[in-house]
Amino acid sequence: MATRAEPLASGAVGGGEGQFVLVEWSDPGGLTSRERPIAGLHVHHSDDEAWYVLEGTLGFRVGDDEVEAGPGAAVFVPRGTPHSFWNAGAGPARYVLVMPPRLKALVEALHAPGAGDFAAIFREHASELL
């Protein structure tokens, strides 16, 4: 049986009982900023997370530090570290996010139709909205 490789942009790789999931996401630019991030300040108590920038520039707050990451740069956030991120450029940004299945489930729950109590959703996924 042949394995077929699909573009990462067409869906997540990994998940289920695995230890990590890869997803490619993008931001068109002009919508997010340090003051209005893609993901507001939060912490994952049990899970690490990492980004790899393909195009554009992402800004990150990781603990008390801020960093900008351009194409080819990677940012790792260890569990227990408050963080947020945003598109730090004027144009589009594309990036690969590496996370455990629990964090993918968190993102899906936050974006589900009718999602309401975001603080409770974060708690259900061993995370906290700050």
pLDDT of 6-15, one tens digit each?
A: 666 666 667 6
The answer to the question of residue 2 being in a domain is: no
Give how many domains the chain has, as a whole number.
Answer: 1
Q: Is the pLDDT of residue 3 over 60?
A: no
Enclosing domain of residue 109 = 8-129
- Please give the model's pTM, rounded to 2 decimal places: 0.88
Which pLDDT does position 50 carry in this prediction? 97
Q: Is residue 83 in some structural domain?
A: yes
**Each residue's pLDDT tens digit, 63-99:** 999 999 999 999 999 999 999 999 999 999 999 999 9
What is the predicted pLDDT for the residue at 91? 96
CATH code: domain of residue 13: 2.60.120.10
DSSP annotation of 6: -
* 98 found inside a domain: yes
In a domain, 77, yes or no: yes
Residue 15 lies in a domain: yes
The answer to whether residue 2 scores a pLDDT higher than 50 is: no
Task: Give domain status of residue 90, yes or no.
Answer: yes
